[in-house]
Amino acid sequence: MLPWWNVYTRNLKFLALGHAGANPVGSTKDYKIIQHMILKEFVAKDPSGKSRTFLEVQCVICKCIFTKQKRKLTQHTCSIRCTNLLKGSRVIVKCSHCGKDVEKQVSKLDNSKSGLYFCNRICKEAAQRYLPDIQPDHYGSSKNPAIYYRRKAFEYYPHECQLCGYSENKAALVVHHIDHDRSNDDIDNLIILCANCHAVTHWGRDCL
């Protein structure tokens, strides 16, 4: 078995090379904490009253500080969650609606037919209103088209005119089709305007 300082050095080299989940020593027992993550070493009493050597360590994943007995420290993560992230059995992806980080099991990533991932059901249902790739075939078919694309735009964009910034009265805001094709309700073709900017867009400034 390699001495602990060699284990630290080899792990540090592996992390520098991007092999964070690999075990350079070849044994889980030898997979020690990397040297620069050790913040302090001290002696204290354990629950049984015996003097033990403890290490104060920074988790290599979440950067939190945790304390563990030196003889029991076998990896540089603070929890099972961080261990799974380090090994690659769990990964962090972006929610396709709100953009927040979401943890997913690697084995379940292929369950998404669209390749999109969400925090929860609320985000997924919100995204279904403007992402055609995850909309059921019947989605929106029973809705009034004018109400449908207005709601779609207001759920996706801030409630303000995207030209002048007016936002005092939502009732004075309208949803405009950029290409003037009212059958094209793609979210990239919709824009929220105030009544004045909408009129100018359609008929020019002479209409005011």
Residue 58 DSSP symbol: E
What is the Cα gyration radius of the chain?
A: 28
In this structure, is residue 138 part of a structural domain? no
User: Would you say residue 65 lies in a domain?
Assistant: yes
Same domain, 22 and 82: yes
> Does residue 82 share a domain with residue 27?
yes
Question: What is the total count of domains within the chain?
Answer: 3
3-class secondary structure, 68: strand
pLDDT tens digits, 87-100: 888 888 999 888 88
- Three state DSSP letters for 167-206: CCCHHHEEEEECCCCCCCCCHHHEEEEEHHHHHHHHHCHH
- Domain membership of residue 103 as a residue range: 90-133
pLDDT of residue 21: 39
Mean pLDDT across 115-130: 81
Residue 136's pLDDT is 62
54 with 39, same domain?
yes
Instruction: Provide the total of helices (H) and of strands (E) in the chain, helices listed first.
Output: 5, 7
d(CA 131, CA 142): 18
Mean predicted confidence (pLDDT) in 154-163: 91
Pair (18, 40) in one structural domain: yes
Q: Are residues 184 and 158 in the same domain?
A: yes
Residues 126-151 as b/e (b if ≥16 CB within 10 A, e otherwise) read ebbbbbeebeeeeebeeeeeeebbbb
Is 180's pLDDT higher than 70? yes
pTM (predicted TM-score):
0.41
CA–chain centroid gap for 18, Å, is 21
Domain boundary among 101, 133, 165: 133
27 and 65 inside one domain: yes
| Average pLDDT of the residues in 54-65 | 89
